[in-house]
Amino acid sequence: MKKGKIVVISGPSGCGKGTVIARLLEMDASFKLSVSMTTRAPRPGEANGREYYFVSKEEFEKRIDIGDLLEYTNYNGNYYGTPKKEMYAMQAEGITVLLDIEVEGADNVRKAAPENLMTIFLAPPSLDELRKRLTGRATETADVIEKRLMRANEELKEQHKYDHIVVNDDLEETIQTVYHLIKE
């Protein structure tokens, strides 16, 4: 069977990445999300095993030690990582695996060099717009929002490393653009 694509989608917190990915998963039954492991607390509405595997710091560090993770990072004080076995198993079944990961994780996936890798950076129209979206979302405290904006600034400097950059000006257009890039 033909191996599926591994599609890394990065972009600063608040750029609409979560929405875009959720819609892509609805649009095409051959797309599946690589469910990451994290030590951050679940947000309201998030379910263990669907958005993330929510684990303790001890559990996460055990996973690092036994080599279960393809890549991992520390993002604003929490660990986030990609379970390796699941991702490769889905790919072997011909599934298009979507990875919602930040720029350092994307670097490490590039280094691991899986077959059929495609990387997409979703950029906000501006940092001002990003601040508005993060504030409007109201799921994070002011302090966390500031940290995420600082990180966003850093992440934007890395966008040239990606195969494709899509500016999320118009959500529907962005979804179509990303969908067609993946289906190319």
Q: Which residues of the chain form contacts with ligand 5GP (CB under 6 A)?
A: 13, 36, 40, 71, 73, 75, 80-82, 100-102, 104-105
CB of 126 to ligand 5GP, least distance (A): 18
CB of 1 to ligand 5GP, least distance (A): 26
- 1 versus 167: smaller Cβ distance to ligand 5GP: 167
CB of 82 to ligand 5GP, least distance (A): 4
The SS3 assignment for 127 reads helix
The Cα 132–Cα 141 span in angstroms is: 14
- Decide the pairing of beta strands 31-33 and 96-100: parallel
CB of 37 to ligand 5GP, least distance (A): 7
The Cα 109–Cα 117 span in angstroms is: 9
Q: Please answer whether residues 31 and 25 qualify as being in contact, where contact means their C-beta atoms are separated by less than 8 angstroms.
A: yes
- 139 versus 176: smaller Cβ distance to ligand 5GP: 139
**End-to-end Cα, the chain, rounded Å:** 19
- 73 versus 179: smaller Cβ distance to ligand 5GP: 73
- 2 versus 41: smaller Cβ distance to ligand 5GP: 41
Residue carrying structure tokens 């959720």: 22
